[in-house]
């Protein structure tokens, strides 16, 4: 299984990145006393910062001097509220969510992992929330891997496997693992969900946004891109037909006869559109929506460009925003 394979390569990945393999289990052992006492003080941070089992200073600044009094960890740390309480308490002192994640990963590896840009980029997870909420969401994603695959019980091990995958998946020697990973439906769903969530933060359902989205999609899935463009085209046609009295109501469906009627209007020519352009685009729309085998990426690009031009021409005539 690709997750297990990349986890086994953690030493290889860390040696490449840091110059030597990182022994994180030794750091866990050195923190046994603090883990039993459920507290994080200057001593625990100094162990993490200075342990010769790994190279902390290569990644983060030292912050042990910031802790005057130990921070108590909640006994219910495995609950949702307990995790939030622990993260917030440490973040209030350390002011750096990555260092907070490092501390909690060693204090409680069953429930926490280190948040880092290689893994968040690998998961397409954007920092769009407060640091605490961002880290909590990251942990939720890692816990999803624990539940989905059942190959590791600890969140920290999932984090290690993904960190290795982020660094090694493009290397030829690990191509079989990478190919298995790319075919993993769960991983692809996680990545896509994160991308869509980020897109949704700024999405306004406007025609312009849909046209831009259609163009971006076309490079990867031209049929889906064209279906989105078709929705824009139908919206613009409906507005034009209602304006010229071709459509009488919102429930009436657009058909080819109506498009031809609109195409023949002299006012349409005055918009700078070519004779027959609306009908030609309607036929391309029909091919895209109904899955014609002859519908190609070239036709998709032609359709999307035509829709954008029609929309722009009509907006100059009737600057209504959607």
Q: At 304, which CATH number?
A: 1.20.120
Model confidence band, residue 187 (pLDDT cutoffs 50, 70, 90)? very high
Task: Tell me if 279 is assigned to some domain.
Answer: yes
Is 142 contained in some domain?
yes
Q: Which residue shows structure tokens 């909420």? A: 133
Mean pLDDT of the chain: 91
Is residue 255 a part of any domain in this protein? Answer: yes
Residues 212 and 161 in one domain: no
Query: How many structural domains is the chain composed of?
Result: 2
Same domain flag for 239 and 122: no
Boundary residue ending a domain (179, 200, 221): 200
Mean pLDDT of 11-31: 94
Q: Do 167 and 232 belong together in one domain? A: no
318 pLDDT band, cuts 50/70/90, is low
How many whole angstroms separate alpha carbon 100 and alpha carbon 106? 10
- The per-residue pLDDT for 183 is 95
Distances (CA, A) of 257 to 30, 47, 55: 79, 78, 72
Q: Does the structure show a pLDDT above 70 at 123?
A: yes
Tens-place pLDDT, residues 29-87: 999 887 888 889 999 999 999 999 999 999 999 999 888 899 999 989 999 999 999 99
- Residue 284: CB atoms within 10 A of its CB come to 23
The answer to whether 11 and 22 have CB atoms below 8 angstroms apart is yes
Does residue 69 lie in a domain region? yes
Distance CA(28)–CA(48), nearest Å, equals 9
What pLDDT is recorded for position 320? Answer: 53
Same domain assignment for residues 35 and 7: yes
Same domain, yes or no, for 213 and 242? yes
Residues 85 and 227 in one domain: no
Task: Please list, residue by residue across 153-191, b when 16 or more beta carbons sit within 10 angstroms of its beta carbon and e when fewer do.
Answer: ebbbbbbbbbbbbbbbbeeeebeebbeebeeeeebeebe
Widest Cα–Cα separation across the chain: 85
Angle between helices 80-94 and 97-107 (to 10 degrees): 130
Torsion of CA 80, 82, 83, 84, to 10 degrees: 90
Asked if the structure places residue 145 within a domain, the reply is yes
Last residue in a domain, options 200, 218, 248:
200
Q: pLDDT band at 258, cuts 50/70/90?
A: very high
Same domain, 181 and 39: yes
Q: Return the pLDDT at 196.
A: 85
Looking at the structure, do residues 157 and 233 belong to the same domain, yes or no?
A: no
pTM confidence score: 0.80
Pairs from 42-48 (Cβ < 8 Å, separation ≥ 24)? 42/67, 42/70, 44/70, 44/103, 44/107, 45/103, 48/102, 48/103, 48/106
Residue where a domain stops, chosen among 177, 200, 223: 200
Kindly state whether residues 236 and 301 are assigned to the same domain.
yes
Q: Is residue 322 part of a domain?
A: no
**Of the spans 9-18, 29-38, 193-202, which averages the highest pLDDT?**
9-18
Indicate whether 86 and 155 sit together in one domain.
yes
Q: Which residues of 103-117 are buried (b: 16+ CB within 10 A; e: fewer)?
A: bbbbbbbebbbbbbe
Highest mean pLDDT among 54-68, 93-107, 124-138: 93-107
Same domain? For 120 and 181 the reply is: yes
Residue 194 CB: number of other CB atoms within 10 A? 18
Do 248 and 305 lie in a common domain? yes
- Domain span at residue 253? 207-317
């Amino acid at each position: 299984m690709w997750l297990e394979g990349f986890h086994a390569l953690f030493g290889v990945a860390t040696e490449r990145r840091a110059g030597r393999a990182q022994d994180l289990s030794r750091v866990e052992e050195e923190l046994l006393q603090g883990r039993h006492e459920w507290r994080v003080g200057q001593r625990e941070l100094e162990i993490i910062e200075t342990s010769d089992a790994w190279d902390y200073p290569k990644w983060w600044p030292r912050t042990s001097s910031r802790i005057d009094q130990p921070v108590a960890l909640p006994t219910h740390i495995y609950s949702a509220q307990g995790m939030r309480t622990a993260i917030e308490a440490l973040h209030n002192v350390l002011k750096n969510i990555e260092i907070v994640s490092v501390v909690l990963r060693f204090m409680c590896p069953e429930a926490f992992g280190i948040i880092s840009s290689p893994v968040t980029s690998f998961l397409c997870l954007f920092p769009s929330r407060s640091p605490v909420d961002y880290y909590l969401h990251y942990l939720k994603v890692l816990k999803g891997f624990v539940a989905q695959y059942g190959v590791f019980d600890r969140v920290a091990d999932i984090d290690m496997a993904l960190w290795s995958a982020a660094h090694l998946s493009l290397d030829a020697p690990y191509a079989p693992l990478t190919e298995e990973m790319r075919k993993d439906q769960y991983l692809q769903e996680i990545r896509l969900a994160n991308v869509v969530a980020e897109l949704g933060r700024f999405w306004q359902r406007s025609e312009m946004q849909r046209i831009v989205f259609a163009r971006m999609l076309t490079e990867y899935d031209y049929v889906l891109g064209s279906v989105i463009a078709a929705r824009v085209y139908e919206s613009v046609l409906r507005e034009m037909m209602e304006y010229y009295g071709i459509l009488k109501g919102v429930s009436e469906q657009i058909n080819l006869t109506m498009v031809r009627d609109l195409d023949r209007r002299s006012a349409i020519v005055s918009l700078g559109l070519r004779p027959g352009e609306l009908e030609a685009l309607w036929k391309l729309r029909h091919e895209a929506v109904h899955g014609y085998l002859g519908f190609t990426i070239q036709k998709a690009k032609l359709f999307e460009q035509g829709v954008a031009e029609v929309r722009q021409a009509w907006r100059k005539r009737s600057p209504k925003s959607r």
